[in-house]
Structure 1
Amino acid sequence: MATRTQARESVIGLLYAYDLGNTEIAKFVDDILEEKKIRNSQKEFALNLFNGTVKNLNSIDEDIIKHLTQGTLEDVGSVEKSILRLAIYEIQFEKLSKAIVINEAIELAKKLASDGAPKFINAILDQLKKV
C-alpha cells in the first residue's frame, strides 16, 4: 500500500505536467495513480490534493509571489513550483499540520528538485506559516 509521501510525490508529478501545459493530464489522473499503485484511501487523498491545488491555483500562486524575495513566479523551476503549490494548498485549504506539510515538502524537494530547492521551499513556506 502506498504512503502519503508516495501519494504526494505522484501529485507533484501531475502538477509538474500541468504546469508545463499538459492541462489534459486531469483526464488521466485515475490511470496515472493506478499505474503508480496509489489506491484506496491514498488515491482519494491524492485526487483531493491534485484537484484542490488546480482549483485554487490562482490563490496559491499569489501566495508564492507575495513571498518571493527575488525574481518572478516564472523564474521558479517547475518541480519547485509544483512542490510549493501542493504544500501551500495543504497549509491553506486542508486541516493538516503545517509542520508536517513543510517537512514533507522539504524532503520531496531533496528527492525531486535542485540542490538549493529545499532551502528555497522552506523559506517560502516558513514565511507563509507566519501570515
Structure 2
Amino acid sequence: MKVSPRHKARELAMQALYSWQMSGNAVEQIELAIATSNDMQKVDMSFFQDILRNALQNLEDLDKAVKPYLGRLPEEIDPVEKAIIRVATYELVHRIDVPYKVVINEAIELAKEFGAADSHKFVNGVLDKAVKTFRKDERT
C-alpha cells in the first residue's frame, strides 16, 4: 500500500512529539534526528514542520482544549496515544483546510499502527467527541 506524503508527515510528527514527551530535548534536535533517520523525500515536509513546531508552540492550549473529552486524567494517557491526540487536535483546531473526517481517520490509523491493542478505540472516542466542538460548523 502506498503511503501518502501527508500520512508520513503525521506519522513522523507523532513520533517527534512522542520523542519530545519522553526526552524533553529541543524540538530542533528531535526534528534533525527524524530528518536524518527517514527518507524525507516521501514526506510532506512543510506539513510535518507545521504540525510539529506549531503543536509544541500551542501545546498548553491544545491540551486544555481536548482535556474535557479524554475521560481520564491527561497523565494517565499512554504517551503514544497522547502524541497522536496532540497531532489530531492541532489539525482539528488549526488546520481547517483538512476535513475533520480525514484527521480522525489518520489518527485512528496511527493508533492502530503504533498504539496498544485498543488504543484506536480510545483515540476515536476522544476525537469524535472533540470534533463536535472544534469543527461544529463543518459538521452541520
TM-score, normalization by structure 2: 0.84
**Counterparts of 1:40 and 1:121 in 2: how far apart (Å)?**
26
1:35 Cα shift?
A: 2.8
Quick one: structure 1 residues 102 and 31, their matched pair in 2 at CA, closer, same or farther if it must change by over 3 Å?
A: same
Assess if the C-alpha contact under 8 Å between 1:64 and 1:73 holds in 2.
Answer: no
1:41 Cα shift?
A: 6.9
1:28 Cα shift?
A: 4.1
Aligned residues: 130
Structure 1 residue 77 corresponds to structure 2 residue 78: yes
Q: Residue 138 of structure 2 corresponds to which residue in structure 1?
A: none
Q: Kindly, what percent of the aligned residue pairs are identical?
A: 28
Structure 1 residue 51 corresponds to structure 2 residue 53: yes
**SS of equivalent to 1:44:** helix
1:115 Cα shift?
A: 1.2
RMSD: 1.9
Quick one: structure 1 residues 116 and 41, their matched pair in 2 at CA, closer, same or farther if it must change by over 3 Å?
A: closer
**Counterparts of 1:26 and 1:82 in 2: how far apart (Å)?**
17
Assess if the C-alpha contact under 8 Å between 1:84 and 1:105 holds in 2.
Answer: yes
Assess if the C-alpha contact under 8 Å between 2:6 and 2:43 holds in 1.
Answer: no
- 1:27 alignment partner AA: Q
Unaligned 5+ segments in structure 1 are none
1:93 Cα shift?
A: 0.3
**Counterparts of 1:19 and 1:72 in 2: how far apart (Å)?**
16
**Counterparts of 2:50 and 2:10 in 1: how far apart (Å)?**
11
TM-score, normalization by structure 1: 0.90
Give the stretch that moved more between structures: 26-35 or 50-59.
Answer: 26-35
1:66 Cα shift?
A: 1.1
**Counterparts of 2:122 and 2:90 in 1: how far apart (Å)?**
17
**SS of equivalent to 1:125:** helix
1:26-58 deviations in Å (ceiling 9; x for gaps): 334145224311248711110111001101100
**Counterparts of 2:129 and 2:90 in 1: how far apart (Å)?**
15
4+ residue runs over 4 A deviation: none
**Counterparts of 1:45 and 1:61 in 2: how far apart (Å)?**
20
**Counterparts of 1:112 and 1:34 in 2: how far apart (Å)?**
21
